[in-house]
Amino acid sequence: MIDKHFQGQGYGTKALKLVIEEIKKLGAKRIQTMHKPKNKIAGKLYQTIGFSYIDNLDDGDLLMEMKINN
Ligand SMILES: CC(C)(COP(=O)(O)OP(=O)(O)OC[C@H]1O[C@@H](n2cnc3c(N)ncnc32)[C@H](O)[C@@H]1OP(=O)(O)O)[C@@H](O)C(=O)NCCC(=O)NCCS
């Protein structure tokens, strides 16, 4: 979560990329995330970074996944 006063300034994208690099170092083969259907900003951000939609969860959340090529 990025403080609302600082959203739209690139921090979310940078933070997400740093987290993904750390997860890659741990040897992960895939990373999953999810968001509420109405949270279009998060969905677009995840897609831009490389996540794809793979499922709709029982509670309505949208599940996304990124495969890691180590
Ligand atoms: C989702 C979130 C982490 C993105 O962080 P951020 O620092 O605003 O992201 P960025 O500045 O890197 O912007 C990422 C994209 O979102 C867009 N964006 C950010 N805030 C926006 C807004 N209020 N309205 C429209 N687009 C917006 C940016 O334009 C950018 O798109 P672009 O690459 O096409 O230019 C932030 O909005 C947030 O903390 N939201 C509340 C918590 C939340 O929803 N977390 C995710 C739960 S799944």
What's the pLDDT tens digit per position in 7-65?
A: 999 999 999 999 999 999 999 999 999 999 999 999 999 999 999 999 999 999 999 99
Pocket of ligand 1 contains residue 52 by CB under 6 Å: no
pLDDT of residue 69: 84
Q: Give the model confidence (pLDDT) of 3-17 as tens digits.
A: 999 999 999 999 999
- Assess whether the C-beta atom of 48 lies below 6 angstroms from ligand 1: yes
Q: Return the pLDDT at 18.
A: 98
Whole-number pLDDT of residue 38: 97
Dist. CA 31–CA 38, nearest whole Å: 22
Q: Which residues of 5-24 are buried (b: 16+ CB within 10 A; e: fewer)?
A: eeeeeeebeeebeeebeeee
Give the closest residue (by CA) to ligand 1 atom 28: 8
Mutate-to-test residue for ligand 1 from 45, 46, 47, 64, highest number of ligand atoms within 8 A of CB: 45
Atom of ligand 1 nearest to the CA of 36: 48
* pLDDT(70) > 80: no
C-alpha pair distances (Å), 22 with each of 1, 9, 48: 18, 22, 19
- Which letter, b or e, does each residue of 34-56 get, where b requires 16 or more Cβ atoms within 10 Å of its Cβ? bbeeeeeebbebbeebebeeeee
